[in-house]
Amino acid sequence: MSVAPQPSLPSVQDILGEAAPRYAPADLALFERAYVFGEKAHEGQKRRSGEPYFSHCIETMRLLAELRMDPATLTAGLLHDVLEDTPVSLEGLRKEFAQPIPDLVEGVTKLSSLQFHSDHDRQVESLRKMILAMATDVRVIIIKLCDRLHNMRTLEYLSEAKQRAISRSTLDIYAPLANRLGMWRIRGELEDCAMYYLYPAAYAHLRSMVARKRSVRESIVRRSVEGLGEHLAAGGLQPEITGRPKHFYSIYQKMQRQNLSFDEVYDLIALRVITGTVQDCYDIVGRVHALWHPVPGRFKDYVALPKDNGYQSIHTTVIGLGGEVTEIQIRTQEMHRMAEEGIAAHWRYKEGGVSKGQEDKLVWLRRLVDWLQDVRDPDEFMDALKQDLFSDVVFCFTPKGDVIEMPGGSTALDFAYYIHTELGNQCAGARINRKMVPIRTEVKLGDIVEIIRSRTARPSPGWLEIAKTSRALSKIRHYLRSVDFDRNRQTGLDALVKALRARGVEIPAADLPERLERSLPSLRAATYDELLSEIGFGSIAATAVAARLAGEARKEAAAKPAKKSPARSQVIVEGLDNALVRMAICCTPMPGDPIIGFVTRGRGVSIHRGDCPNLLRTIQSGEEAADRLVSVRWNRGEQPDRRVSFRVSAEDRPGLLRDVSQVFAQLGLNIIETNTKSYIRNQKAILKMLVLVQNAEQINVALHRLEGVEGVELVTRVVHKQ
């Protein structure tokens, strides 16, 4: 019987392609050794497509070679799955390969285990670990981005559910990271691949519309390139001019953001001009504006004011041939490499680590890690991350002319904390463009900002409403915590004891430190006193800590021999002792609701709310049904917690989830599950929260307070069958 031949894998030389001459003979020998090691480790493993699994590792290395990464990174890319998917151990890897290769492989393995589509808190913790991994060695995330890109290219072989889950984390996490690292080419492909699976109808529509107008667009681009080239050549300039493709997802985002149809997106014509020197860039933009009228407000000079990740280019939008709105990017060859490859373009392999130039490009990352260390609340963490990592930026200046890049929406107070913590703590006012302004004034592009300091000025709780950036907010909170530490500690202890009593748990205050010692790391507190202070400050919910202690107490009680006692029902049936009762699922009565009993055939007494429409219809069906009604009342001493789902429909905004959660925290109610969805098109959000309550009064109070939260439009509740 003949056996079908297995597809042959490419050689190291084939993988490297045009990049091969960049690497020394010793590097090529290292690649060959890693190739043999990895192929043997993955021997017999197949991908869902039927290809050898090692082919994925090869393609990851190929992408890294295209980015011209250093030898250690290419080797780690080739071996990035051996710890996760083969019997190879970290110790074994360290015996075979010198550092930093084993550490890079271990870092990628840890990132692969992170969950970005599980519950909210796990997503946040996964993001935190990813940011810390990036700060340790940014090459880890570069390898992971290449790994994810190849996986997205071959996603067709997975189930629809996995396709959507992986695409969602790609769009929410990996594409923005690639953007922040300046890796535009990888970001664009990640976004388009994710869109294909998440929004298939929109993707298909865009693709057909782009294809339909391709010939017209290509004709305009060709004539624009020729016309601009002739115009520049007349002035002695001969740059490389090409059409610049726009990614589907960027077009889709613009249509969604501005509520446009495809025909209303006018700037689909885009050109890129690559020249030799910075002076040429400015000469060219002047000549472009002499040839075609510039669109007001659409000129950006990222050459003089580079982005934090090193991106440089001049952007201008003009009314080009045939009246078409045309985007033009003008840059040098080195700027172009940086724009395409981002942080990878600056990588220089050194024995001691990254080069000085590389370190300078990662200042924002170290700053981000510093800011996020003190953030404990998951929602606060996500707000900080979206703002400082994924948001737009504005460029402003110190009085000495230093360029400062701030997140969009930053205030003068944020600017002060950005410069230095002590300057922020002593901020009394500001001058923007030599004019005195309040510290809440928003900083705009090009502003010159001078901070007025006073030795008597100190942060106050009101500053938390003024500051917008995570750095400023974390520093203000840190100050307020330290000043009121003792008071917060006592407030936290009182709140914790109260929350425990609400759950029927009595733990002496002297026993609490020992009980909570093991839980401190997961609660992100260094000491017991710090935990109490955080509870008093409001950054950790007393109900969450009490729920953990109550759960441990229940486990301890279950381990002890139980004392037999007669079972008692939460509802008392008048005239019947120990009657079998059950809560009707049609109206799910809660303790405190008016109730009535209905004697069923063989299933005891069914307890309904007094206004239950189903029961009313049953009674009206005949006299026999009315005769089966019995008087019942709640047994006040036997009321377990009940699960209630609250559904909140609201206008989407930052901090919405935090404000809604705070309502339950203030009532001492424990949230055991959350589900949040945001709808970008209409700026709406749906929040579903599963909460433990004891009676109907707690539900009514919660409903009333939720309706008072800013932006909330409708609140409903469902009591679950216990």
167-176, 191-200, 695-704: the lowest-pLDDT one: 695-704
Give the chain's radius of gyration (CA, Å): 31
Question: Six-digit token pair at 187?
Answer: 């970001």
Q: To 10 degrees, the CA torsion angle through 511, 512, 518, 520?
A: -160
Average pLDDT over residues 183-193: 88
What is the crossing angle of helices 184-198 and 248-258, to 10°? 70
Q: To 10 degrees, the CA torsion angle through 296, 300, 301, 307?
A: 170
Average pLDDT over residues 253-264: 70
Are 537 and 488 within 8 A, CB to CB? Answer: yes
Query: 125 pLDDT band (50/70/90 cuts)?
Result: low
67-76, 128-137, 394-403, 501-510: the lowest-pLDDT one: 128-137
d(CA 570, CA 564): 18
Strands of 266-369, DSSP E = 269-275, 293-294, 300-301, 314-319, 325-332
- The closest alpha carbon to 137, from 102, 187, 184, belongs to 102
Neighbours of 271 (CB within 10 A): 20
For the question of whether the overall pTM of this predicted structure is more than 0.85, the answer is no
**Maximum distance among all Cα pairs of the chain, rounded to whole angstroms:** 106
Question: Which residues is 693 bridged to in the sheet?
Answer: 642
- The closest alpha carbon to 395, from 522, 292, 300, belongs to 300
> What residues act catalytically?
84-85
Average pLDDT over residues 530-538: 77
Are 209 and 232 within 8 A, CB to CB? Answer: no
Query: 128 pLDDT band (50/70/90 cuts)?
Result: low
Q: Is the pLDDT of residue 440 over 60?
A: yes
d(CA 485, CA 313): 49
Q: Is the pLDDT of residue 359 over 60?
A: no
Of how many residues is the chain composed?
A: 722
d(CA 574, CA 599): 12
d(CA 321, CA 223): 8
Is 526 buried (19+), middle (13-18) or exposed (0-12) by CB count in 10 A? exposed
Pairing mode, strands 684-693 and 325-332: unpaired
Question: Which domains can be identified in the chain, with CATH numbers?
Answer: 12-198 (1.10.3210.10), 206-344 (3.30.460.10), 363-482 (3.10.20.30), 484-555 (no CATH), 571-634 (no CATH), 642-719 (3.30.70.260)
Are 525 and 531 within 8 A, CB to CB? Answer: yes
Q: Is the pLDDT of residue 325 over 80?
A: yes
**pLDDT above 70: percentage of residues in the chain:** 79
d(CA 303, CA 288): 17
Average pLDDT over residues 262-283: 81
Q: Which H or E element spans position 463?
A: helix 463-466
Residue 370 CB partners (closer than 8 Å, separation 6+):
471
Q: Is the pLDDT of residue 574 over 90?
A: no
d(CA 334, CA 68): 14
Distance of CA 231 to the CA centre of its chain: 46
Are 338 and 309 within 8 A, CB to CB? Answer: no
CB under 8 A, 24+ apart: contacts of 297-305: 303/278, 303/331, 303/335, 305/395, 305/403
DSSP string, 679-702: ETTTTEEEEEEEEEESSHHHHHHH
The pLDDT value given to residue 208? 80
DSSP string, 359-382: HHHTHHHHHHHHHHTT--SHHHHH
Highest mean pLDDT among 295-299, 313-317, 401-405, 678-682: 313-317
d(CA 443, CA 119): 36
Question: Six-digit token pair at 660?
Answer: 């809604």
Are 139 and 73 within 8 A, CB to CB? Answer: yes
Question: Six-digit token pair at 327?
Answer: 């985007």
- The closest alpha carbon to 313, from 244, 373, 412, belongs to 244
- More confident: 368 or 305: 305
Are 448 and 361 within 8 A, CB to CB? Answer: no
Query: 683 pLDDT band (50/70/90 cuts)?
Result: confident
Question: Which residues is 86 bridged to in the sheet?
Answer: none
Question: Six-digit token pair at 480?
Answer: 């307020």
Question: Six-digit token pair at 209?
Answer: 């519309």
Cα–Cα separations (whole angstroms), residue 240 to 176, 200, 291, 450:
29, 36, 18, 42
Query: 83 pLDDT band (50/70/90 cuts)?
Result: confident
The pLDDT value given to residue 6? 46
HSE value, Cβ hemisphere, 13 Å, CA-based, for 673: 9
Name the 3-class secondary structure at 650: strand
Are 202 and 252 within 8 A, CB to CB? Answer: yes
d(CA 193, CA 164): 11
